Amino acid sequence: MISKIIAEDLITKAKKAIDSVDKIVIVAHVGPDGDAMGSTLALWHYLMTIEKEPVVIVPTPFPNFLSWMPGSECVLDYENNKEQSDKLIAEAELIFALDFNQASRMAKMADVIVNASAPKILVDHHLHPDNFANITISYPEISSTSELIFRLICRLGDFSMINLACAECIYTGMMTDTGAFTYNSNGQEIYIIIAELIKIGVDKDAIYRKVFNTYSADRLRLMGLCLYEKMKIYPEYRAALITLSQQEMSKFNYVNGDAEGFVNIPLSIAGVDFSVFMREDTDKIKISLRSQGTFPANKVSADLFNGGGHLNAAGGESYLTLTETVKKFEDALPNYKDFLE
Ligand code: 5GP
Ligand code: MN
C-alpha cells in the first residue's frame, strides 16, 4: 500500500469534475520533457480507458527521443496546429494542466488556456503554483508529475484501468525527472510504484534504452565539443559552465533535444556541485541549472535568469547576448559562496 499523499477533498473534486464530462484537453509546458509527455500521455491513456474523449496539446513540439511513447502520434503541438487546438480548447469541458506551476510556462498557449471557459485541474510538483486552476493538486515533495498521475488514478479507484501503455508513460516520466533515479529519488514509494508498473508489464530496461540510447552521432560530437572546449570550471565556487552558440549548434546539425542532459555531466566531476548550461536560441539564451546537495539552483535561476524550478534542477532565460549572460553569471557567482556545503 502506498500512502495517501493527495488530499481527500482534492480527489473528491477531481472525481466529480471528470465524471461529469467527456471532452478533456490535457496540456503541459513549453519544451515538453519526459515528465511532461509521460504525465500527459499517462492521463490520456487512462481517460481513453474510462471512455472519455481526451486530447493532449503541448505548446511546442516534443523531442524525437520521446516519439516512441505510446499515444505520442496523437499529440498536437500548438505551434503547428493552432487552429485545431484553439477549437478543441474552446470546446473542452475540462482542462488538465500538468507538470508546470505558472501559466506563462505554456508560452503562446497561456492566454487561450487561462481564458478558456472549462474548469481547470493543475497536477504538478513545482514550488509555488499560480492559482489559475480551479483544482490545484500540487505536491513539490513528489519527484515527478507522472508519479502524481499514478497516485491520482489509484486514488480515483482505478488502478485496474492502468494499461501497459499508461504504465510505460508513467515510468518514463518518473525515470526522466530523476535522472534515471540518481537524484530526487530517495522516496521509498517510488520503488513500490515501479514494482507495480513492472507487474503491469513495463520493461524498464527497454525504456531506458529508448530514452537515453537513441541519439545521433552529431549529438555525441556536439557533446564532445562542449566537454573538450566549452566547459569552464570555477573550483572556488564548485561550479561549472557550458555555453553553446547558434553557430556551434548548426555546425553539428542541432535538432531539438540534442543538448538534453549536457547540463548534468559536469556534476560528475569531483568538486563540482553546481552546473549551468547556456544555449543560444533564436531570440534568447535558454539556461539550465543543476546542483547536488543543498545548493539552490532555483534561487540562482530566479535571481539572475527570470526562472525557477526545483532546488537541484532549474531553468530560466536571458535576453542579453551570450557573452553578457556569461558575464552576469560570473559576476554573481561569489554571492552564492555561502550556499556551498
Ligand atoms: P530544464 O533545465 O530541464 O529545462 O528545466 C529544469 C527545471 O527547471 C524544469 O523542470 C522547470 O521546473 C524549471 N524551468 C526550466 N525553464 C524554466 C523557466 O524558464 N522558468 C521557470 N520558472 N522554470 C523553468
Ligand atoms: Mn516534472
For residues 260 and 163, the model is more confident at 163
- Higher pLDDT pick, 239 / 64: 239
d(CA 206, CA 228): 31
Q: Which ligand is nearest to the CA of 144?
A: 2
CB of residue 230 inside a 6 A radius of ligand 1: no
330 lines ligand 1 (CB under 6 A): no
Q: How many angstroms separate the CA atoms of 286 and 288, rounded?
A: 7
Do residues 193 and 43 touch, judged by C-beta distance below 8 A?
no
The whole-number average pLDDT for the span 154-172 is 98
Average pLDDT over residues 209-224: 95
288 lines ligand 1 (CB under 6 A): yes
Write the ipTM: 0.94
pLDDT the model gives residue 189: 98
Task: Determine whether the shortest distance from the Cβ of 103 to ligand 1 is under 6 A.
Answer: no
Q: Report the relative pairing of strands 239-244 and 274-280 from DSSP bridges.
A: parallel
| Percentage of the chain lying above the pLDDT 70 cut | 100
For residue 317, which of 291, 292, 280 has the smallest C-alpha distance? 280
CATH number, span 218-339: 3.10.310.30
* Tens-place pLDDT, residues 294-315: 999 999 999 999 999 989 999 9
Q: What is the pLDDT of residues 108-156, one digit of tens each?
A: 999 999 999 999 999 999 999 999 999 999 999 999 999 999 999 999 9
Q: Which ligand is nearest to the CA of 124?
A: 2
Distance of CA 315 from the midpoint of ligand 1 (Å): 4
pLDDT at 257: 85
Q: Superfamily assignment of 8-212 in CATH?
A: inorganic pyrophosphatase (n-terminal core) (3.90.1640.10)
pLDDT tens track for 262-278: 999 999 999 999 999 99
- Tell me what pLDDT residue 29 has: 97
Residue given cell 496539446 in the structure block = 57
Nearest to 103, CA basis, from 114, 95, 112: 114
**Where does residue 293 fall: left (phi above 0), alpha (psi -120 to 50 degrees), or beta otherwise?**
left
Q: pLDDT digit string (tens) for 177-202?
A: 999 999 899 999 999 999 999 999 99
Ligand 1 atom closest to 100 (CA): 12
What residues contact residue 131 under an 8 Å CB cut-off, 6+ apart?
none
For the chain, what is the mean pLDDT? 97
| Ligand 2 center from residue 144 Cα (angstroms) | 5
Q: Residue 341 has what pLDDT?
A: 77
Ligand 1 pocket check: which of 29, 126, 274 to mutate, most ligand atoms within 8 Å of Cβ? 126
Is 314 close to ligand 1, i.e. is its CB under 6 Å away? yes
Instruction: Give the closest residue (by CA) to ligand 1 atom 5.
Output: 315
Mean pLDDT of 32-49: 98
Rounded to the nearest angstrom, the distance between the alpha carbon of 172 and the centre of ligand 2 is: 11
Residue-range domain boundaries for the chain: 8-212, 218-339
Is the CB of 313 within 6 Å of ligand 1? yes
Q: In the prediction, which pLDDT does 256 show? A: 83
Q: Is the CB of 142 under 6 A from ligand 1?
A: no
Ligand 1 closest atom vs CA 288: 2
